[in-house]
Amino acid sequence: MSSRPPKSFASLFWDVLRLSARSLWHSNVNPARVIVERQRALSILGLPPNATRQQIKKRYRDLAKRHHPDMGGNQQQMQRIVAAYEYLMKG
């Protein structure tokens, strides 16, 4: 049995809140991380922050035609384009 006095409800509440906030910050659903990743993906595709799904799809197709390794493009660049497109279209 513990010799420490029991914590108050308020103390337990704040402990849980701190742990939850820390967990959220380090998770993949961190809102700041989502915004930064979206901006990065849009930048790779050369699109503005308010790009629509249709614009994303069209830009991806244009870039894929130009950068596909079978068309003489760079494989690493194409992988970045595909990753950016998939990230933007999943949400």
Looking at the domain assignment, is residue 2 inside a domain? no
Looking at the domain assignment, is residue 1 inside a domain? no
CATH number assigned to the domain comprising residue 72: 1.10.287.110
Looking at the domain assignment, is residue 48 inside a domain? yes
As for how many domains the chain has, the answer is 1
Burial 18-35, CB ≥16 within 10 A → b, else e? eeeeeeeeeeeeeeeeee
Looking at the domain assignment, is residue 43 inside a domain? yes
Looking at the domain assignment, is residue 56 inside a domain? yes
pLDDT, tens digit, 9 for 90 and up, residues 27-69: 666 677 788 899 999 999 999 999 999 999 999 999 999 999 9
pTM equals 0.66
Please give the residue range of the domain that contains residue 78. Answer: 9-90
pLDDT, tens digit, 9 for 90 and up, residues 61-87: 999 999 999 989 999 999 999 999 999
Looking at the domain assignment, is residue 51 inside a domain? yes
